[in-house]
Structure 1
Amino acid sequence: MHSKSAKIAGRLRLKFKSNSLPVRLSIITAAMLPLLPLHALTGKKEETTQYAHVIDSNRLTVVAVKNPSTVFNNGQNLHGFGYDLMRNYAKSLNVQLDFKVVNDNTAALDLVAQGKANIALTNATMNDIEAKKLSFFSATCGNFNALSENGLDTNINLVVNNAEDPIAQTATGFTCQAKNDGSIDQLASFYNHNIVEPNAWDIVERDLKARMPIYKASFKQEASKYNLDWQFLAAMGYQESYLKSDSVSPTGVRGLMMLTNSTAKAMGVTNRNDPRQSIQGGAKYLDQLLEQYDTIPYPDRAWYALTAYNMGPGALSSIQNKVEKQGKNPEEWINVYSYLQKNQNANSKYKQALQYVTRIRAYLEHIQQENEPQPIEV
């Protein structure tokens, strides 16, 4: 890294390590930055910048390599700590997010260097980044504890072509605001990779190897009827019954997808212990729930549907009403998740719902790693 850009990026890194806002960003919030004229940020009136291109094109292009701390490919949809962070950043700029998964960090850095991507979300080494003459800063404004406590990689950075470009300034402003208002902690908590005990993964792997081959075809067949991700259905099945077709709970739900009697009848299931019928009923019910929350974009819609599957749509609606009364958007998962988390000790159903959604997310990611999808070509 050379010249003035290197000095600025260096100052940003030093500030992050001290857990304070960068000096030049301390009086400008992420919400204010997109509203400022470009020359107010750069001192130049006729300079084409990455920021100007993003605003003019209404599109923020971010590239990343799939890993547990950045992004997973959930069928047709993406999810993950880094993905959600960039999704929220794009929303703060009031632009669309174009998030691409590439094969490796070298490809991600090259796309930024070539101007084909605005930001790379990466754990590439400092030497590799500086070898491309690029600038980088902490994706969490130095909130490394939130990442480490939840089993996430602390070396997650945002890489830009030029530290003087307003895209770097708005991004650092956004991440530091997210750190200060607790959004980073909430995101990291939801994507907690310690949600399943390390020694328990051996049991999970044993169960999946023994039982998944028996039901994989049924998961794929039923998922295809509703344009669902079969791995998502399989993760639900494992959480519900450990893929045991004869499972029965104390409350009377039964079968591989643990359907209640009333839900089974509504879905046309005549024998809840029949694994094919159970998977069919679970897929149909999940599809109906996803339709019910069709105003909510993915991946949030998936988490809403899972919560409703676990505790019922009425209970979730009640929580949404409470979130709205707090002045927060009831159609943003992070707000519902935060409410469940803060009130789980007072309501066991909230705790159960939290465990349900986060464990399915973890199982889904594990199954995806075993059935590795191809990266999106760019």
Structure 2
Amino acid sequence: MQSKSVAITRRLRLKFKSNSLPVRFSIIAAAMLPLLPLHALTAKKGETQYASVIDHNKLTVVAVKNPSTVFDNGQNLHGFGYDLMRSYAKSLNVQLDFKVVNDNTAALDLVAQGKANIALTNAPMSAIEEKKLSFFSATCGNFSALSQNGLDTSINLVVNNAEDPIAQTASGFTCEAKNDGSIDQLASFYNHNIVEPTAWETVERDLKARMPIYKASFKQEADKYNLDWQFLAAMGYQESYLKSDSVSPTGVRGLMMLTNSTAKAMGVTNRNDPRQSIQGGAKYLDQLLEQYGNIPYPDRAWYALTAYNMGPGAVSTIQSKIEKQGKNPEEWMNLYSYLQKNQNANGRYKQALQYVTRIRAYLEHIQQSSQPKPIEV
């Protein structure tokens, strides 16, 4: 007897119509859903979750906070799974309602109860099938992209009913993303091997020794500009390893490594004063986030970091080149891809890539380290 998750060896191209908006999708080899009877794919408007998503302009996805799915700092979300679902919602031209829940059981229950359209989860197959739910690979079987970047290969998308068109559009989307390289690109950015495993011991030692000294200043400045203090702290660690007397060969200095001109513009009179440096860095970051205010999070944060490192003028130049290529210059994956493809020809691009990806990694590490430890019984 076949499982609900079976390999499909041919491509389907179908069209749905809801609110007069056609949506094309395809099912490709390695997508793990059974072929559907025609009547299931032509359900009347309002009878399927797919129709409900389109009608209400909202896709509800639930997931457990996990290094391979989503990180939540209390203000914004980011992560491989989160970004993948953002792109899927965009392909449907609907808003994403992404909910973070405590555990896989809660996520599966919400799907079973019809309160969520999809669960993004690494729950075991037995737990999914016990609730009579259906699932398929979140990457259309592109496990190598996940494993090479230290991500969980067991991430699946779980739906209530395999015969609901929401299942077909989602699996079709992931397979298209696999074929066009989008999944490889996204996994590359969220690479959890960006910092060598042996280096984390040094990172942890540095944070334990220096973070307590500056934590209050990070929090104070973050509150002033409605920023995430852990984000500021991750920037500070990337810039100077939280050493207030750091100086670079190019003359930037201090805990947040401000240039002389930026320091003056931010009202910093002594770049080696850690409190002033954090104040200046927070103010400058806030200005950059405002500059990219039309870009949604988390992309806005990555744009601001790139500009902090390269300068906003350099980012604008790259955006113009991306636009000339016919791509959206306000999507992070397009900027990231441009930097990645041209890093060998321009050292500044390589430096910017390392800068943003390492801050992301340090941010996630700080977030995880600050979570309460489970009580042993």
Q: Give the TM-score normalised by the residue count of structure 1.
A: 0.91
The residue correspondences of 1:248-327 to structure 2 (distance < 5 A) are 248-327=247-326
Q: SS state of the match for residue 272, structure 1?
A: coil
Could you say if the C-alpha distance between residues 206 and 305 of structure 1 is closer, same or farther in structure 2, counting changes exceeding 3 Å? same
2:254·2:271 contact (CA, 8 Å) conserved in 1? yes
> Which residue identity is paired with 1:356?
Y
* 2: CA distance, partners of 1:189 / 1:36: 28
2:322·2:328 contact (CA, 8 Å) conserved in 1? yes
Alpha-carbon shift at residue 127 of structure 1 (Å): 0.4
2:266·2:280 contact (CA, 8 Å) conserved in 1? yes
| Alignment pair present for 1:177 and 2:163 | no
Aligned positions, number: 359
Alpha-carbon shift at residue 370 of structure 1 (Å): 1.2
1:72·1:78 contact (CA, 8 Å) conserved in 2? yes
Give the structure 2 partner of residue 367 of structure 1.
366
* 2: CA distance, partners of 1:30 / 1:292: 39
Deviations 1:72-109 (A, max 9, x none): 01340000000000000000001000001000000000
The alignment yields a C-alpha RMSD, in angstroms, of 2.1
Q: 1 or 2 for the larger relative contact order (CA 8 Å, sep ≥6)?
A: 1
2:256·2:278 contact (CA, 8 Å) conserved in 1? yes
Give the structure 2 partner of residue 10 of structure 1.
5
* 2: CA distance, partners of 1:76 / 1:200: 29
Given candidates 5, 16, 26, the residue that maps to 2:12 is 26
* 2: CA distance, partners of 1:325 / 1:45: 42
> Which residue identity is paired with 1:355?
Q
Worse-superposed segment, 281-290 or 320-329: 320-329
> Which residue identity is paired with 1:109?
L
Could you say if the C-alpha distance between residues 223 and 373 of structure 1 is closer, same or farther in structure 2, counting changes exceeding 3 Å? farther
2:16·2:23 contact (CA, 8 Å) conserved in 1? no
* 2: CA distance, partners of 1:158 / 1:96: 18
Could you say if the C-alpha distance between residues 149 and 36 of structure 1 is closer, same or farther in structure 2, counting changes exceeding 3 Å? closer
* 2: CA distance, partners of 1:341 / 1:29: 35
Could you say if the C-alpha distance between residues 284 and 172 of structure 1 is closer, same or farther in structure 2, counting changes exceeding 3 Å? same
Give the structure 2 partner of residue 200 of structure 1.
199
Deviations 1:300-345 (A, max 9, x none): 0000000000000000111111111111000000000000000000
> Which residue identity is paired with 1:249?
S
The residue correspondences of 1:41-60 to structure 2 (distance < 5 A) are 42-45=41-44, 48-60=47-59
* 1: CA distance, partners of 2:43 / 2:311: 55
Alpha-carbon shift at residue 147 of structure 1 (Å): 0.3
* 1: CA distance, partners of 2:209 / 2:327: 44
* 1: CA distance, partners of 2:238 / 2:12: 45
Give the structure 1 partner of residue 157 of structure 2.
158
Q: SS state of the match for residue 27, structure 1?
A: strand
Give the structure 2 partner of residue 66 of structure 1.
65
Could you say if the C-alpha distance between residues 118 and 265 of structure 1 is closer, same or farther in structure 2, counting changes exceeding 3 Å? same
* 2: CA distance, partners of 1:113 / 1:68: 25
Q: SS state of the match for residue 197, structure 1?
A: coil
* 1: CA distance, partners of 2:313 / 2:164: 47
Alpha-carbon shift at residue 53 of structure 1 (Å): 1.0
2:221·2:282 contact (CA, 8 Å) conserved in 1? yes
* 2: CA distance, partners of 1:29 / 1:43: 9
Could you say if the C-alpha distance between residues 335 and 279 of structure 1 is closer, same or farther in structure 2, counting changes exceeding 3 Å? same
Return the structure number with greater helix share.
1
Unaligned runs of 5+ in 1: 16-21
* 1: CA distance, partners of 2:21 / 2:210: 52
Could you say if the C-alpha distance between residues 31 and 342 of structure 1 is closer, same or farther in structure 2, counting changes exceeding 3 Å? farther
Give the structure 2 partner of residue 212 of structure 1.
211
Worse-superposed segment, 68-77 or 208-217: 68-77
Deviations 1:40-67 (A, max 9, x none): 8623336611111111111000000001
Q: Give the TM-score normalised by the residue count of structure 2.
A: 0.91
Give the structure 2 partner of residue 94 of structure 1.
93
